[in-house]
Amino acid sequence: MHVSVLGIGMMGLPIAKRLREAGFEVTAWNRTLEKALRLASHGARVAHTATQAVHDADVVITMLENGDVVESVLFGHGVDAALKPGCLVIDMSSIKPSQARSHAQRLAERGVAHLDAPVSGGTVGAEAGTLAIMAGGEAADFERAQPVFAPLGRATHVGPHGAGQLAKLANQMIVGITIGAVSEALLLAEKGGADMAKVREAIRGGFAESRILEVHGQRMVERDFAKRAALTVQLKDMRNALDTARELGFEAPITGLFEALYASAAEHGFGELDHSGLFRELARRNGMR
DSSP letters of the chain?
-EEEEE--STTHHHHHHHHHHTT-EEEEE-SSHHHHHTTGGGT-EE-SSHHHHHTT-SEEEE--SSHHHHHIIIIISSHHHHSPTT-EEEE-S---HHHHHHHHHHHHTTT-EEEE--EESHHHHHHHT-EEEEEES-HHHHHHHHHHHTTTEEEEEEESTTHHHHHHHHHHHHHHHHHHHHHHHHHHHHHTT--HHHHHHHHTTSTT--HIIIIIHHHHHHT----SSBHHHHHHHHHHHHHHHHHHT---HHHHHHHHHHHHHIIIIITTSBGGGHHHHHHHHTT--
Percent of the chain with pLDDT over 70: 100
The predicted structure's pLDDT at residue 145: 98
Position 289 pLDDT exceeds 90: no
Query: Of 1.10.1040.10, 3.40.50.300, 3.30.420.40, 3.30.360.10, which CATH number belongs to 166-285?
Result: 1.10.1040.10
Where do the domains of the chain lie?
Answer: 2-160, 166-285
In tens, the pLDDT along 79-136 reads 999 999 999 999 999 999 999 999 999 999 999 999 999 999 989 999 999 999 999 9
Annotated catalytic residue within 96, 168, 198, 227: 168
CATH 3.40.50.720 fits 2-160, yes or no: yes
Per-residue pLDDT, 36: 97
The pLDDT of residue 135 is 98
250 has a pLDDT exceeding 90: yes
The answer to whether residue 168 is catalytic is yes
pTM of the model: 0.93
